[in-house]
Amino acid sequence: MAASVEHEFRGPRRRLVEMLHDQGIKDLAVLKAIDETPRHLFVPTGVRHRAYEDSALPIGSGQTISQPSIHARYLELLKLTGNEKVLEIGTGSGYQTALLSRLASQVFSIERIVELLDKARETIRQIGARNISFLLGDGTLGWRQYAPYDAILVGAGAPEVPKTYHEQLAEGGRILIPLGDKEEQTLYMFTRRGDELEKSEIAPVRFVPLVGKYSWEAM
Ligand code: SAH
């Protein structure tokens, strides 16, 4: 990564990391990944000055980049050690993809909107992460070719867990998914124990809808 890109916004980024720590995020690897990832490059130039606020921001095509505290929470819950293969549904801006690339060994990320995927790919190229594979398509189908995954992160809300995720999850692996209606959801973490998924409720959240064969229909 070019030195100028790394140093820009360093102060605001450090303050964001301190705030997340004060909010209870304790995983040092997660805090370090956020400290070293230039979130301002993943948001449109018009909202760049707000990149290190703890808020969701518009990224075009009617979609949003989630607020940093949500990403931090997601990543902390997964307890990644650096050896995992993870599947991300809803690349969006690619910011979470970049964080994951620092915390896992291989990242597979699916996005259905070509403009967002192209932009995310370009930003990721700019910051130089290499262990990421992208796919344009319906993420509710998963990505069978590289299964099983140690973790599946869904960045959009669904009515229920698509059965493909259970099928493509490794034993002991985790799924993080917001479940509910199109406006409001609850974030759940599921852990695979044989044929069962052990369920734990995390927090109320608001995500854009997951649109695809095993979720909401496109409008
Ligand atoms: N973590 C991303 C979240 C982006 S919003 C970020 O912070 O930038 C959720 C994304 O999921 C949107 O880009 C939306 O287009 C995408 N999405 C919705 N349904 C999808 C599907 N079935 N397959 C792949 N991506 C999907």
Residue nearest to atom 10 of ligand 1 (CA): 90
Q: What is the 8-class DSSP label of residue 200?
A: E
Does 214 have pLDDT greater than 70? yes
Atom of ligand 1 nearest to the CA of 97: 1
Q: Give per-residue pLDDT as tens, 102-135.
A: 999 999 999 999 999 999 999 999 999 999 999 9
Q: Answer yes or no: is the C-beta of 173 below 6 A from any ligand 1 atom.
A: no
pLDDT at 218: 87
Give the CATH number, domain containing residue 139: 3.40.50.150
Q: Answer yes or no: is the C-beta of 63 below 6 A from any ligand 1 atom.
A: yes
Residue 158 lies in a domain: yes
Q: Give per-residue pLDDT as tens, 12-49.
A: 999 999 999 999 999 999 999 999 999 999 999 999 99
pLDDT at 1: 53
Residue 114 lies in a domain: yes
Q: Which two tokens stand for residue 213?
A: 């064969």
pLDDT at 117: 98
Cα of 64 to ligand 1 centre, how many Å?
8
Active site residues: 66
State mean pLDDT over 139-159: 98
Residue to mutate (ligand 1; options 57, 118, 211, 213; most atoms within 8 A of CB): 211
Cα of 92 to ligand 1 centre, how many Å?
5
Whole-structure pTM value: 0.96
Q: Answer yes or no: is the C-beta of 155 below 6 A from any ligand 1 atom.
A: yes
How far is the C-alpha of 97 from the C-alpha of 92, rounded, in Å?
Answer: 9
Q: Answer yes or no: is the C-beta of 37 below 6 A from any ligand 1 atom.
A: no
State mean pLDDT over 76-88: 97
Cα of 189 to ligand 1 centre, how many Å?
18
Quote the percentage of the chain above a pLDDT of 70. 97
Residue 8 lies in a domain: yes
Mean pLDDT of the chain: 96
The number of folded domains in the chain is 1
Side-chain-side CA neighbours of 39 within 13 Å: the count stands at 29
- Helix (H), strand (E), coil (C) string for 135-198: EECCHHHCCHHHCCEEEEEECCEECCCCHHHHHCEEEEEEEEEEEECCCCEEEEEEEEECCEEE
Residue 213 lies in a domain: no
State mean pLDDT over 51-71: 96
Q: In the chain, what is the straight-line distance between the N-terminal and C-terminal CA atoms, in Å?
A: 40
- Strand runs labelled E in 53-168: 57-60, 63-65, 85-89, 106-111, 132-136, 149-154
Residue 112 lies in a domain: yes
pLDDT at 219: 75
What's the pLDDT band for 5 if we cut at 50, 70, 90? low
For residue 67, CA distances in Å to 47, 147, 176 come to 13, 29, 16
Domain span at residue 180 reads: 3-205
Q: Answer yes or no: is the C-beta of 97 below 6 A from any ligand 1 atom.
A: no
